[in-house]
Amino acid sequence: PKHFTIAIDGPAASGKGTLARRLAQFYGYHHLDTGLTYRAVAKTLLDQGMPLDDEFLAEKAARSIDLSTLDRTVLSAHDVGEAASKVAIMPAVRRALVSAQQGFALLSPGAVLDGRDIGTVVCPDAPVKLYITASPEARAKRRHDEIKASGKDVNYQDVLDDLTRRDARDMGRTDSPLKPAADAHLLDTTEMDIETAFLNAKTLIDQAL
């Protein structure tokens, strides 16, 4: 086909980001981690000392996000992720970001988008939709190892509690809650390394190409 879209959703630390990057690299497609767009809105508000629940201010911030300058290292901080899940419950914020993400999805020759609502809302017509999960404990262990590797000291139980709280907020919100699209392929990576997840995804994509 002339153009192809791969939609990847799943909870925090499920491995969806790593998988999305690998697939984009392999197929030569553009990649957008849509979590970074929510993080960028949250960071703008935090930096300016603005409240996280003012829909008017947050929408203004969302409209000014530039997809080409999203910086993972700046946005990866833990408090930014937590704040992102708060701004992400506001419909006006979601509308603004979804519309920018849909523009990105049209890039040629194809695009891989990962997030929470890609298969359900952003790219409902994507020919391949993947929903990546792993047990909360496996995800907390990965996140814990990551943070430790970066030289910081954290408690596993705190990481698990944070993830559980963020899952609840993402799955429980009214607008675009995290859930698999009806036609999504479920991939549980609890006992799976990234290479195996990649090969599974590749098989599904090659069937659809």
Can you say which residues are annotated as belonging to the binding site for ATP?
10-18
Is residue 66 a contact partner of residue 37, using CB atoms and an 8 Å limit?
no
Q: Does 59 bind ligand C5P (CB under 6 A)?
A: no
Query: What 8-state DSSP symbol labels residue 198?
Result: H
Q: Does 85 bind ligand C5P (CB under 6 A)?
A: yes
Looking at 34-42, 48-56, 125-133, 134-142, which segment touches ligand C5P (CB under 6 A)?
A: 34-42
Residue (of 159, 28, 52, 178) closest to 115 by Cα position: 178
Out of 4, 27, 29, 38, the only residue in the binding site for ligand C5P (CB under 6 A) is 38
Give the torsion sign (CA, 16, 19, 21, 24): negative
Applying CB under 6 A, the site for ligand C5P has a residue count of 14
Out of 14, 34, 120, 133, the only residue in the binding site for ligand C5P (CB under 6 A) is 34
Looking at 23-31, 58-66, 111-119, 134-142, which segment touches ligand C5P (CB under 6 A)?
A: 111-119
* CA 141 – CA 106 distance, rounded (Å): 35
Looking at 32-40, 127-135, 139-147, 191-199, which segment touches ligand C5P (CB under 6 A)?
A: 32-40
CA 9 to chain CA mean position, Å: 7
Query: What 8-state DSSP symbol labels residue 68?
Result: G
* CA 55 – CA 60 distance, rounded (Å): 8
CA 55 to chain CA mean position, Å: 21
Out of 7, 23, 35, 133, the only residue in the binding site for ligand C5P (CB under 6 A) is 35
CB of 183 to ligand C5P, least distance (A): 18
Cβ-based neighbours of 17, under 8 Å, separated by 6 or more: 33, 35, 114
Out of 31, 39, 142, 143, the only residue in the binding site for ligand C5P (CB under 6 A) is 39
Looking at 56-64, 103-111, 114-122, 145-153, which segment touches ligand C5P (CB under 6 A)?
A: 114-122
Q: Does 43 bind ligand C5P (CB under 6 A)?
A: no
Structure tokens at 137: 């404990």
Query: Given the complex with ligand C5P, which of 44 and 85 has the nearer CB atom?
Result: 85
Structure tokens at 120: 């359900």
Per DSSP bridges, beta strands 30-33 and 110-115 are: parallel
CB of 180 to ligand C5P, least distance (A): 14
In the complex, the residues that contact ligand C5P under the rule CB under 6 A are 12, 34-35, 38-39, 81, 84-85, 88, 115-117, 166, 170
